[in-house]
Amino acid sequence: MKNIGHITVARAYLIEVAKILIQLGVDQAELFAELAIDPSTRPHPKERVSLGDLSDLLNFAKKNLNNPVVGLHAGARFRIATYNTVGNILGFCQDLEEAAFINRRYAGLVHTIGVLHLIKENSGDKVEARFIWLPNFGPESDHKYCLVNDYVLTNYVYTINWLAWGFGRGVRKVSLRHQLSQKNLAGEYERMFGCPVEFDAADYTVELESGILNMPLPTANPAKLAILRAKHETVLASHNGLDSLQFRVEQKIREIIQSEKPSIEIVARELDQPVRSLKRRLKDNQTSFRAISEQVKKDLSDSLITENVPLAQIAQSLWYSDQAAFTRAFKNWYDVTPGQYRR
C-alpha cells in the first residue's frame, strides 16, 4: 500500500470546494463546525491540508445530503475561474495539448492528488488522444477515495468541454475503475459526464473527440499566456521552498541531464555551494536531491512516453543503467509498466 502522507491540497482550494457544497445544500454551520473551517480567515497561499481533509469534506456532504455521487455534482460546479491560481491560465492556451502541459506544470500549486497524463496516437490524418488519471494513491484505496476521484474527473471533463466549446463537445467517453455497487447510479454518471461511461475499467480514462487535440482554442491568447506563465513560475519557485532552493536545484538537474548524469556534486558546484551544505538545506526544506531528481525524471518521462519514444531511448535519455531499470522506476511511480501504460 502506498504512503499517502505526501498528498496535499491547498487550504484555499479546500475552502472553495466547501463553498460549492454549501451551494448544493450542505448546512454551512454544520460543515464548518465539523471540519474546523473558518471561512472568514484568509489562508496563506502556501498553507496545505491533507488528502484526508478533502475526502472528509466530501464524505460529510454525502451524508448530509444523502447523495452518494456528490463528488460528481461538486466537480461540475467547479468552473475554470473558481480557483484562479491555475484555472484562468488554461483558457489562454493555443490548444488542448498545450493546456494539458500547463496543467501538469502548475497543478501541484492546487493539489498533489494525482496527475493527468496525455496519450496521443496518429490515426490517418487525425490525432486520437486520451487522458489517463493516475491518483497518487494505489488502486487499493479507490473505494476509500471514490468521491475524490469523482470530483477531480468531473472537474477535468467540464474543463475540457469548456475549453473546446468552439468546436462542440470535447470528451466522448469516460472510463472509471469504479466497481459500481448501486447500478441505478450509472445513468447519473453518464448524465453528469455528458457521454458514455465504462465502469470497472483498467484505468481512469478521459477520451477526447477525434481530431480536436490540436484545434485552436477560441479563447487562445499567447500574450496573456506568456504573462501568466511568468507569474506562475515565480509562484512555483516560491512554493517549492522559502528560498526557492528546491526550484533552483530542479532547474539545474533539468539542464545537466541533457548532457550528463546529474549528481549532487555537479549541482552543488553549479550553485556554488558545498555538498554538505546543500544536503542540509534540502533536508531543512523536507526534501532531498534524490527526491527532486526522481521527480524531474518522472516529469520528463511523461512527455517522452506520450510521444512513443522507444523505451530504451527514454532509459538512456534519463541516465538509467538500462531499460529494465527505467521500467522498475516507472512501475514504482505509476503501478504499471511503460508498456501497459501505452496500451
What are the residue ranges spanned by the domains of the chain?
A: 69-208, 241-342
Q: How far apart are CA 32 and CA 34, in angstroms?
A: 6
Q: What is the pLDDT of residues 219-244, one digit of tens each?
A: 899 888 888 888 888 787 777 554 46
pLDDT higher for 236 or 71? Answer: 71
pTM: 0.72
Residue where the block lists cell 466497481: 179
Residue 34: burial class (beta carbons within 10 Å; 0-12, 13-18, 19+): middle
Q: Dig out the grid coordinates for 131 from the structure.
A: 487522458
Predicted local confidence at residue 3, as pLDDT: 46
- Rounded percentage of the chain residues whose pLDDT exceeds 70: 90
C-alpha span between 279 and 110 (Å, rounded): 27
| pLDDT digits 0-9 by tens, 158-208 | 999 999 987 778 999 999 998 877 778 999 999 999 999 999 998 999 999
Burial of residue 261 (CB within 10 Å: 0-12, 13-18, 19+) is exposed
Q: Quick one: pLDDT at residue 169?
A: 82
246 vs 225, which has greater pLDDT?
225
- Rounded Cα distance between 112 and 96, Å, is 21
* Domain 241-342, CATH homologous superfamily name and number: Homeodomain-like (1.10.10.60)
Name residue 182's amino acid: Q
**Of 76, 296, 30, which Cα lies nearest the Cα of 191?**
76
What is the chain's mean pLDDT, rounded? 86
Q: Which residue has the higher pLDDT, 32 or 99?
A: 99
Q: What are phi and psi of 111, to 5 degrees?
A: -160, 160
Task: Please give the residue that has the higher pLDDT: either 256 or 242.
Answer: 256
**pLDDT one-digit tens code per residue, 98-152:** 999 999 888 888 898 998 989 888 777 788 899 999 898 888 888 999 999 999 9
The CA–CA distances, whole Å, from 62 to 20, 76, 131, 139, 193 equal: 13, 15, 27, 22, 19
Position 84, amino acid: N
The answer to which of 139-148, 322-331, 332-341 has the lowest mean pLDDT is 332-341
Pick from 333, 109, 113, 115: nearest CA to 240: 109
Instruction: Determine the pLDDT at residue 181.
Output: 72
CA distances from 215 to 156, 290, 306 (A): 18, 39, 18
H/E run at residue 132? strand 126-135
Q: Which residue has the higher pLDDT, 271 or 207?
A: 207
